[in-house]
Amino acid sequence: MTVDRVLPSPEAAELVQAVRQIARRELEPRAANEEAAERFPRELFDMLGAAGVLGLPYPERFGGAGQPYEVYLQALEEIAAAWFSVGLGVSVHVMSLSPLLGSGTEEQQEALLPPLIAGDQLGAYALSEPQAGSDIAGMTTRAKVTDDGYALIGSKAWITHGSVADFYTTFARTGGDPHGGISCFLVPADSPGLSFGAPEHKMGLTASTTTSLYFDQVPVAEFRRIGAEGEGMKIALSALDSGRLGIASCATGLAQAALDCAVSYAKQRVQFARRIVDFQGMQFLLADMAAAVDSARATYLLAARKRDAGQAFTRDAAVAKLICTEAAMRVTTDAIQVLGGYGYTRDFPVERYFREAKAGQIFEGTNQIQRLVISRQLLREDR
């Protein structure tokens, strides 16, 4: 079904509608086969970049569309509803630019942002490590000062777009302070000494390449350090706030797709000489699924509107990521139940949706970490 959206302007409504049409025409028909083949569809990101989708929330002076975050997220939801792996990829790319826009110098922004916003280059966000996922302070990758800038030594894990991105927004330790000794760098993919592990064999999102990164004295020019030395922790957490909204939006799109499939099937499936949608028990189940999707959408939009208004939204982003990904897991589970045995087969997309939904509860900070962020904000407000 077409989602009944409230958008801030006619231009925004036209943009989201255009993205929806692209998603339904170019993404949805290919999703099942490409996921089965575990093939990363790089050409689709080139197409989305050329269509202006990758630059929706970024300033027009750098080639973006200058749209509010609430508009970008609703467009992203349409992409994820058509193909979750591509929605995730767009979210990660947009997040990987966030440090450059928020903390880069004007010279860095003018030199580096335009090709990234245009989609000529694809970004990745390299924060997690094998022993330091949610524990950013436990990071061990180091950036040693050299005559020409820095040399990066260490490894990163679980990197979306690993081995297929053109640059990596990378966080490395430049000092001994567990919290204040981290800095941010934009590392080109063709840098000497940078290598990649084999793609992870995941239960879902198989068209989204995920690998480890290895830094063996990788040279990085000082010009590619974003912000001052030691500001990396603050930069990373700020980018994650926005990135979590991207995941919330994608999870909502996935849940909407599962709901749509369940409703369509229930209208056609006949049991005991009646359509199963005519049984009250089925109607109540579908109603609960719809309420979960609507609630998820309202939650991420509240957070996005606070971000657009310049208000603090760390807690709201954590709530949105938690609520939306939990809703996606619940709705995709229920969608399988609606389809019965068919839902457990690959003849229908809901089994894929179910596998993909699980990832949402894990990346960009597990949902346990979201609960920790929310509780800390509550305690801080009580002081």
Domain spans of the chain, in order of start: 10-117, 123-230, 234-382
What confidence score (pLDDT) does residue 111 get? Answer: 94
Over residues 86-97, mean pLDDT: 97
Amino acid at 314: T
pLDDT value at position 67? Answer: 96
- Rounded mean pLDDT of 337-342? 97
Q: Is the pLDDT of residue 381 over 70?
A: no
State the CATH architecture for 234-382: Up-down Bundle (1.20)
Secondary structure (3-state) at 78:
helix
| Contact predicate 49/123, CB 8 Å | no
pTM across the whole model: 0.95
pLDDT(75) > 70: yes
Residue in this structure with the two tokens 């050409």, named with its chain if needed = 43
pLDDT above 60: residue 346: yes
Select which of 78, 107, 364, 381 is catalytic.
Answer: 364
Q: Is 364 a catalytic residue?
A: yes
Region 73-97: mean pLDDT is: 97
Half-sphere exposure of 269 (CA within 13 A, CB side): 17
Interatomic CA distance for residues 179 and 166, integer angstroms: 28
Give the model's pLDDT for residue 180: 79
> Has residue 134 got a pLDDT over 80?
no
Q: Tell whether domain 123-230 is in CATH 2.30.29.30.
A: no
Mean pLDDT, residues 242-255 taken together = 98
At residue 382 the predicted structure's pLDDT band, cuts being 50, 70 and 90, is low
Report helix, strand or coil for 342: helix
**pLDDT tens column, 199-227:** 999 999 999 999 999 999 999 999 999 99
The per-residue pLDDT for range 226-237, each reduced to its tens digit, is 999 999 999 999
Please give the sequence-ordered ranges of beta strands (E in DSSP) within 139-296, or none if there are none: 142-146, 149-160, 167-173, 182-188, 194-196, 210-221, 225-226, 270-271, 274-275
What pLDDT is stored for residue 123 in this prediction?
96
Q: State the average pLDDT over residues 75-103.
A: 97
Q: Looking at the domain covering 10-117, what would its CATH class be? A: mainly alpha
Q: Average pLDDT of 112-124?
A: 93
Rg of the Cα atoms in the chain: 21
d(C-alpha 104, C-alpha 269), whole Å: 56
State the pLDDT at residue 78: 98
Question: pLDDT confidence of 181, banded at 50, 70, 90?
Answer: very high
C-alpha triplet 346, 352, 358: angle, nearest 5°: 150
Per-residue pLDDT reduced to its tens digit, 4-60: 999 999 999 999 999 999 999 999 999 999 999 999 999 999 999 999 999 999 999
pLDDT value of position 194: 98
As a whole number of angstroms, the distance between CA 221 and CA 226 comes to: 11
